[in-house]
Amino acid sequence: MNLNGFKYFFLSGKGGVGKTTSSILMALYFSQRGEKTLLVSLDPAHSLGIALKAKLGELPKKVEEKLFALEVNPEKEMEKYLKKVEKEARQIVSPAFLGEVEEELKLAHSSPGALELATADAIYRIAVEGRGFDKIVFDTAPSGYTVRLVASPNSIVKWWKGLISVREEALKYEFLSNLKEKRKLKEIFREDPILKVLTKRLKEYETLKELFTGKETAFGVVFNEGLLPREIGVRTVRELEEAGAPVKFLVFNRVKNGIESLKAKNKIVIKVPEFKEEPIGIEKLKELLKLTRWEVK
Ligand X SMILES: Nc1ncnc2c1ncn2[C@@H]1O[C@H](COP(=O)(O)OP(=O)(O)O)[C@@H](O)[C@H]1O
Active site residues: 43
Nearest approach in angstroms of CB 111 to another protein is 5
* One of 5, 16, 113, 162 touching ligand X (CB under 6 A): 16
Residue 18 interacts with ligand X (CB under 6 A): yes or no: yes
Nearest approach in angstroms of CB 70 to ligand X is 16
Residue 292 interacts with ligand X (CB under 6 A): yes or no: no
Residue 253's binding partner among another protein, Mg ion, ligand X, none (Cβ under 5 to 8 angstroms by kind) is ligand X
Q: Which one of 12-20, 61-69, 175-183, 235-243 is the stretch in contact with ligand X (CB under 6 A)?
A: 12-20
Nearest approach in angstroms of CB 218 to another protein is 26
Nearest approach in angstroms of CB 13 to ligand X is 6
Q: Which one of 107-115, 175-183, 232-240, 273-281 is the stretch in contact with ligand X (CB under 6 A)?
A: 273-281
How far CA 228 is from CA of 128, 219, 235, in Å, comes to 38, 21, 11
Of 15 and 112, CB closest to ligand X: 15
Residue 294's binding partner among ligand X, another protein, Mg ion, none (Cβ under 5 to 8 angstroms by kind) is none
Of 122 and 151, CB closest to Mg ion: 122
Residues 71-90 that bind ligand X (CB under 6 A): none
Q: What is the length of the chain? A: 297
* One of 6, 8, 20, 243 touching ligand X (CB under 6 A): 20
